[in-house]
Structure 1
């Protein structure tokens, strides 16, 4: 059997508009892993994408996103094949459909597609507890909750999220967390919880250690350059960024990433602050190669209390010194390394950056120390350890 896509799957029927993308084989002899995610596959390449592309080596991999509104009167399911054997599913629901009607339609679309594929050996992998609204009836031989963030602390979090998470923690056979602080918060709520902090694709980001052509939107910027890539949202300390730029107008602050959940008008605007927008994962090493210091100017608030930023080891793999605000997991994992300098306010951030610029003048020593820290922090290593935990839980 094969999955042809992209096509539209209505409740009870399928139609194929336009040319079909390459098919992805469905192996009825393999179990199916259904990943229920609040993050879109094509948004920012991060933990779910790293892990699911690897799990697709062993499972038929379905990645179900949150629904998207459509002007059509009938719900349908978009199925889109991605590289590595991942099949992305996107429920398309009539505009203004919410609450129980939304959950019912998502449940019917999902059930119909699983029945069409004749899935009878299912593993559930939750990134969002809110998916229980339409997936709680599914029978799986293993249920995993990969709690990569404390979602209830994020701006705009659903009111029901905390209660849904309690329900998921009761149902899950296995709980993974995105860092040690998050593990400490969840281990008392589940007897089979395990911390898996941020990993890194060392080979991918190590390309930044070699000279590369500067991206066109960065090439004309002066130096020194302080760079950040990632989602620009309520987790960033915008006031800190503004103060650092004001204190050192000769420094260029480069911010790469989409602006989400905050009004772009709230962003600090100075001649030495540059917003370059979202970039594909494959292009990030080229931007990183053009920075002198990588920065993590996170706000110290509820939304960052439990984060373990993936970009920390990525920056180090790229051979860059790092300056960060005192995020708990960053301090605990890297604060004593001499590679990640910690700063609590603008004056400290400037001083730490000046020290980091001195470190950058000795790249070989910097890279040797970074390599000694990165060790087994690869996504392959994390994936293999997770597989072992899953096998033990079966």
Structure 2
């Protein structure tokens, strides 16, 4: 989106924040740090509203704010849940950017599937963030496009050189094997627990927020370290201090269609990767020397041990770099922009447009 911001104003409409029931609804707008052409809009709505009142309030706020945006307006949905109050948005192009199969997630709203179908019917373009998602949706719309996970190689390559060690990681024993990302139902906690038990001398570093998992259900061992959520800018510093990067995803409905961006990010950071057999990981990266695929705890430990023996910056990394050289967010954005430009036609030549991202 920072690349789209070079061409137009980009607005992220985020989840609402509840305020006191006696206070009036309002929105707060701020510019994204380092990206002045990216605005973040957070609606604040009174607590205690029922679903109908909530949608009516959000619609009023959205209508008022979007009226001041430049035209043509591009509505970019990451989730169909925002349709409940944005159906009437005056958009010239509607994009559904499917990054996950949200209906497979734990606690997914019952109406999600109906809203997704409505969004697909309304959309001019459907983008999919992985091959499995593309295969699942390509017959549901006449213009579905695959944009597999890319990577900011320059950002994550910082991990290949020694970084200032984060304070909450610097004293952890080596070898260090790490994961960053959301820890939720897609994460195999039993696998993590078993690996920690089998190799008590390994430090298993978990970076990221815990969502939809009760803290008491997380495995607790002296060599498992939960460091909490970090900013994107901080990730290379943590990655730099690891010996192996992990992707211990549970093999369940919620991971059936995922295409983790972590895989190319870890490799760009110069770290070998061990993953459970996520379909898109196996077919796109499973052939690399620096990527191990493991189904059981025993296999996972064995693959980690193999990765620990790899020469730092050896042939395995050159092989990974060759594959990564074909992926770029700039190329991805240029292709997306071209598809949108074809739909806008003469409107695209005006130089004045806005992109509203439904990030709720």
TM-score by length of 2: 0.92
- Asked if the contact 2:289/2:316 (under 8 Å) is kept, the reply is no
State yes or no: 1:336 paired with 2:287. yes
CA pair 121-265 structure 1, distance change in 2 beyond 3 A: same
Pairwise CA distance, 1:139: 2.4
State yes or no: 1:321 paired with 2:272. yes
State yes or no: 1:94 paired with 2:46. yes
Q: Tell me what 1:45 maps to.
A: none
RMSD: 1.2
Q: Tell me what 2:357 maps to.
A: none
Pairwise CA distance, 1:98: 3.2
**Equivalent position to 2:170, from 189, 195, 219:** 219
Q: Tell me what 2:210 maps to.
A: 259
Pairwise CA distance, 1:228: 0.4
Pairwise CA distance, 1:284: 0.8
Q: Tell me what 1:47 maps to.
A: none
State yes or no: 1:301 paired with 2:252. yes
Aligned length: 341
Q: Tell me what 2:59 maps to.
A: 107
**Equivalent position to 1:70, from 6, 14, 19:** 19
State the distance in 1 between where 2:29 and 2:4 align. Answer: 19
Give the 3-state SS of the residue equivalent to 1:390 in structure 2: helix
State the distance in 2 between where 1:385 and 1:78 align. Answer: 32
State yes or no: 1:367 paired with 2:317. yes
Q: Tell me what 2:2 maps to.
A: 53
State the distance in 1 between where 2:177 and 2:88 align. Answer: 49
Give the 3-state SS of the residue equivalent to 1:56 in structure 2: helix
Q: Tell me what 1:236 maps to.
A: 187
State the distance in 1 between where 2:123 and 2:107 align. Answer: 25
Kindly indicate whether structure 1 or structure 2 has the higher relative contact order, using CA contacts under 8 Å at least 6 residues apart. 2
Pairwise CA distance, 1:268: 0.3
Pairwise CA distance, 1:212: 2.0
Q: How does 1:3-14 map to 2 (within 5 A)?
A: none
State the distance in 2 between where 1:392 and 1:340 align. Answer: 39
Q: How does 1:198-217 map to 2 (within 5 A)?
A: 198-217=149-168
TM-score by length of 1: 0.84
Give the 3-state SS of the residue equivalent to 2:109 in structure 1: coil
Q: How does 1:285-296 map to 2 (within 5 A)?
A: 285-296=236-247
State the Cα deviation string for residues 25-59 of structure 1 (Å, max 9, x = none).
xxxxxxxxxxxxxxxxxxxxxxxxxxx21111111
Pairwise CA distance, 1:364: 3.1
State the distance in 2 between where 1:120 and 1:292 align. Answer: 49
State the distance in 2 between where 1:150 and 1:393 align. Answer: 26
State the distance in 1 between where 2:285 and 2:70 align. Answer: 44
Give the 3-state SS of the residue equivalent to 2:6 in structure 1: coil
State the distance in 2 between where 1:203 and 1:73 align. Answer: 45
State the distance in 2 between where 1:362 and 1:79 align. Answer: 45
- Asked if the contact 1:319/1:366 (under 8 Å) is kept, the reply is no
Pairwise CA distance, 1:77: 1.1
Q: Tell me what 2:349 maps to.
A: none
State yes or no: 1:280 paired with 2:231. yes
Structure 2, unpaired ranges of 5+: 345-360
Structure 1, unpaired ranges of 5+: 1-51
**Equivalent position to 1:173, from 124, 146, 149:** 124
Pairwise CA distance, 1:118: 5.5
Pairwise CA distance, 1:121: 2.1
> Which moved further from structure 2: 135-144 or 239-248?
135-144
Give the 3-state SS of the residue equivalent to 2:205 in structure 1: strand
Pairwise CA distance, 1:232: 0.9
State the distance in 2 between where 1:59 and 1:326 align. Answer: 40
State the distance in 1 between where 2:247 and 2:313 align. Answer: 20
